[in-house]
């Protein structure tokens, strides 16, 4: 496929959630080492990519107004890096339907970039052995390698070491963001305390309740720091914890989005109206276990 040809693809960029998130250490260069079980939901952004045109990013959808200028968008950077690495022209018009809030701990920018990288590699005809997409993705952000995989995985190192995780059961997920953006670096800087050793499990939970029980022994090590910077996160967690059918409430990533685990999508949808407050983003979805 010639890079100058026009080809179009519309692809889904799923939201990422950290089912648990431990900080296990810190490298000499300041990057934190992590141990996290990363899952993905059926909810996400949508990218429509049309090659054969000058590189440009257009954003639309509920959170388009919060997006950076095109040349500062992570998708733009991803496309340019991929083109440079592969020795092709960076020609693509990309429309992002932004359904996910920005700077929310659900990997919106990372999943968009990862989805763009995978799709552009196919549209531009880049052979699998020509560019290491995971190494390229890591230069854009620590979440990008897991988002390239886009299935439940254990993430270690600074996010680049991906290991097989046990099969995760079907479960409803209720995502709630209080309408506040948090900068990841600020949350890491605000964190206090020592480090936590990896705490992975190998047995597959049989259902959503069993998954919640296993996860209850683990946590998100950034929660306290995020709450100090954004106290309303505690209100979100409390609201989720009191919902009928919610097995577990937790913050994902560096916040401010939190999630509740339910038996199925129907249960998450039924609970959503009870937590809907002015200015809060409330989105029922489910784990993508395919």
Buried b vs exposed e over 110-128: b needs ≥16 C-beta within 10 Å? bbbbbbbbbbbbebbebee
pLDDT at 3: 40
Indicate the pairing of strand 56-60 with strand 92-97: parallel
**19: which residues sit within 8 A by CB, 6+ positions away?**
36, 37, 38, 39, 168, 211, 215, 250
Average pLDDT in the 42-65 region? 97
112 is catalytic: no
Over residues 263-279, the pLDDT tens digits come to 999 999 999 999 988 99
Residue in 35, 45, 112, 143 annotated catalytic: 143
Residue in 16, 45, 98, 221 annotated catalytic: 16
Average pLDDT in the 118-145 region? 97
263 is catalytic: no
Average pLDDT in the 41-63 region? 97
What CATH topology corresponds to 172-286?
Answer: Alpha-Beta Plaits (3.30.70)
Of 234, 286, 287, 251, the C-alpha closest to 265 is 286
pLDDT at 6: 67
CA distance 251 to 233: 8
Is the CB of residue 188 less than 8 Å from the CB of residue 222?
yes
CA distance 105 to 138: 17
Average pLDDT in the 94-109 region? 96
Of 218, 290, 283, 234, the C-alpha closest to 44 is 283
CA distance 38 to 200: 12
CATH code, 8-164? 3.30.230.10
Average pLDDT in the 219-242 region? 97
**172: which residues sit within 8 A by CB, 6+ positions away?**
208, 261, 262, 263, 264, 265, 266, 267, 268, 269, 284, 285, 286
DSSP state of 74: H
Report pTM.
Answer: 0.95
Whether the pLDDT of residue 66 is over 80: the answer is yes
Q: How is residue 181 written in tokens?
A: 């953006």
Q: Where in the chain is the domain with CATH 3.30.70.890?
A: 172-286
pLDDT at 5: 54
Over residues 167-196, the pLDDT tens digits come to 999 999 999 999 998 999 999 999 999 999
Q: Where in the chain is the domain with CATH 3.30.230.10?
A: 8-164
Over residues 150-173, the pLDDT tens digits come to 999 999 999 999 999 999 999 999
């Amino acid at each position: 496929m010639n890079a100058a040809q026009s080809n179009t693809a519309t692809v889904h960029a799923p939201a990422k959630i950290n089912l648990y998130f431990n900080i296990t250490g810190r490298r000499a260069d300041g990057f934190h080492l992590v141990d996290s079980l990363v899952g993905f939901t059926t909810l996400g952004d949508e990218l429509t990519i049309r090659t054969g045109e000058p590189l440009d990013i257009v954003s639309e959808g509920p959170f388009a107004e919060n997006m950076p200028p095109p040349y500062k968008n992570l998708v733009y950077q991803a496309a340019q890096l991929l083109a440079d690495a592969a020795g092709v022209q960076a020609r693509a018009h990309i429309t992002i339907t932004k359904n996910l809030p920005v700077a929310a701990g659900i990997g919106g920018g990372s999943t968009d970039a990862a989805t763009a990288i995978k799709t552009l590699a196919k549209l531009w005809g880049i052979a699998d052995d020509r560019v290491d997409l995971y190494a390229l993705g890591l230069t854009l952000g620590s979440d990008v390698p897991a988002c390239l995989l886009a299935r439940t995985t254990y993430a270690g190192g600074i996010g680049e070491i991906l290991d097989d995780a046990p099969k995760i059961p079907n479960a409803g997920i209720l995502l709630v963001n209080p309408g506040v953006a948090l900068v990841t670096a600020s949350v890491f800087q605000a964190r206090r305390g020592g480090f936590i050793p990896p705490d992975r499990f190998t047995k597959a939970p049989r259902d959503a309740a069993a998954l919640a029980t296993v996860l209850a022994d683990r946590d998100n090590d950034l929660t306290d720091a995020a709450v100090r910077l954004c106290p309303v996160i505690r209100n979100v967690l409390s609201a989720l914890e009191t919902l009928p059918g919610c097995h577990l409430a937790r913050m994902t990533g560096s916040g401010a989005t939190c999630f509740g685990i339910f038996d199925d999508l129907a249960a998450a949808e039924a609970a959503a109206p009870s937590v809907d407050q002015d200015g809060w983003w409330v989105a029922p979805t489910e784990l993508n276990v395919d």
